[in-house]
Amino acid sequence: MKIPIDDKLNSKNVKPTAMRELVLDVLIKQTTAISLSDLEQKFEKADKVTLYRTLKTFEENKIIHSIDDGSGSVKYAMCTDTCQCNPAELHVHFFCTMCQKTYCLNEIPVPSVSLPVNFDLQSINMVVKGICANCRR
């Protein structure tokens, strides 16, 4: 199949199967994060569980990251090329209450917060809700 897609998979040590190529192709083309059921609807006949496991595999291998945007279903989006998914490089996510789309605001890092004494930070999830630029106009 397409060379850059296989390259991506190989570089993340994920074996490029037909299914994975198709899923990664869909993911790369997204401008906003998608859920498992969004993904399911992009295929005529693909099993939800296979898609589910494909997403899990991609996530484990840092091809994508998952986003809990509070909408009730977890969304997934591509990691940036340099992303190591560590706490220091977390970015803010934006959920549009009008179009229900979830955006990675890759340019906007999660601000640091000072916790009460003896509270240890592991990670932060920051989701801004509002109206996106597309819906705004």
Partner DNA sequence: AAAATTTATGCAATTAAGTTGCAAAGTTAT
Partner DNA sequence: ATAACTTTGCAACTTAATTGCATAAATTTT
Residues at the interface with Zn ion (CB under 5 A): 96, 98-99, 132, 135
Q: Does the footprint of a copy of itself cover residue 90 (CB under 8 A)? A: no
Shortest distance, CB of residue 40 to DNA, whole angstroms?
9
List, in sequence order, every residue forming a beta bridge with 64; answer none if it has no partner.
78
Q: CB 111 → DNA: shortest distance, Å?
A: 26
Give the Cα separation of 22 and 97 in Å (integer): 29
Q: Which is nearer to Zn ion, 20 or 101 (CB)?
A: 101
Contact string 75-104 vs Mn ion (x = CB under 5 A): --x--------------------------x
| CA of residue 25 relative to chain centroid, distance | 14
- Written as six digits, the tokens of 63 are 């091809």
Q: What region does 63 belong to: left with phi over 0, alpha with psi -120 to 50, or beta?
A: alpha
CB 48 within 8 A of CB 39: no
Residues 31-60 that bind DNA (CB under 7 A): 35-37, 46-50, 52-54, 57
